[in-house]
Amino acid sequence: MNTIKHTAEFEIEQPVAALFPLFSPEGEKLWVPEWDYENIMGTTTLSEDYVFLTKSHDHASTEAIWLVKRYKPEDYRVQYYKVEPEDKVGIVTVECVEQGASRTCVRVAYEYIALADKGRHFIETFTAEAYQDFIAEWKTLLLRYYGDPR
């Protein structure tokens, strides 16, 4: 198998306009432990074609090149390519959907395409259950960021 895609969602008691910016390279530094990136663009303003690098994060076994594929802040939607040369390419999509003045549904999809045996091995082990656990951790970390100790 060369490709796999998983999608999950969760709701959080925060306004969509406050929550969505947290799904950017700068925003993730606020709520994801040990998250950091190399800013090669000279700005922190996200836009389509924005490029940044990470050392090892989100299923990465190597350094990754991230490119903003689509950025629609007015729709609270962002999509990234995550390229791990000689391993795999990921397409990460985050969409925030307003459920009320202070409630947001966060939908997250990860799709991976293997580039080599290492990537194929990852895809074989990237189960729906593992993905659900991974996204559940997002909710836990966001709740902690907003002061909920759960």
User: Would you state the pLDDT for residue 136?
Assistant: 96
User: Would you state the pLDDT for residue 19?
Assistant: 97
Do the domain assignments include residue 150?
Answer: no
Question: In degrees rounded to 5, what are phi and psi of residue 145?
Answer: -60, -40
d(CA 18, CA 22): 8
Region 2-24: mean pLDDT is 97
- Note the pLDDT tens digit of each residue in 55-110: 866 655 678 999 999 999 999 999 999 999 989 999 999 999 999 999 999 999 99
Of 143, 146, 27, 2, which Cα lies nearest the Cα of 94?
27
Do the domain assignments include residue 67?
Answer: yes
User: Would you state the pLDDT for residue 126?
Assistant: 93
Q: How many CA atoms lie within 13 A of 66 on its CB side?
A: 26
**The domain that contains 64 carries what CATH number?**
3.30.530.20
Name the helix (H) or strand (E) containing 80.
strand 77-84
User: Would you state the pLDDT for residue 24?
Assistant: 97
d(CA 128, CA 67): 25
Q: Which segments of the chain does DSSP mark as H helices, in order? A: 16-19, 25-31, 117-125, 128-145
Do the domain assignments include residue 79?
Answer: yes
Do the domain assignments include residue 43?
Answer: yes
Domain count, the chain: 1
Single-letter code of the amino acid located at 16: V
Question: In degrees rounded to 5, what are phi and psi of residue 110?
Answer: -120, 125
- Tell me the residue range of the domain where 59 lies: 3-145
Do the domain assignments include residue 40?
Answer: yes
Is a pLDDT exceeding 90 seen at residue 1? Answer: no
By percentage, how much of the chain surpasses pLDDT 90? 87
> Which residue has tokens 């990754």?
64
49 Cβ contact list (under 8 Å, min separation 6): 67, 68
Do the domain assignments include residue 112?
Answer: yes
User: Would you state the pLDDT for residue 62?
Assistant: 72
User: Would you state the pLDDT for residue 146?
Assistant: 93
User: Would you state the pLDDT for residue 89?
Assistant: 96
Q: How confident is the model at residue 148 (pLDDT cuts 50, 70, 90)?
A: confident
User: Would you state the pLDDT for residue 150?
Assistant: 61
User: Would you state the pLDDT for residue 149?
Assistant: 63
Across the chain, mean pLDDT equals 93
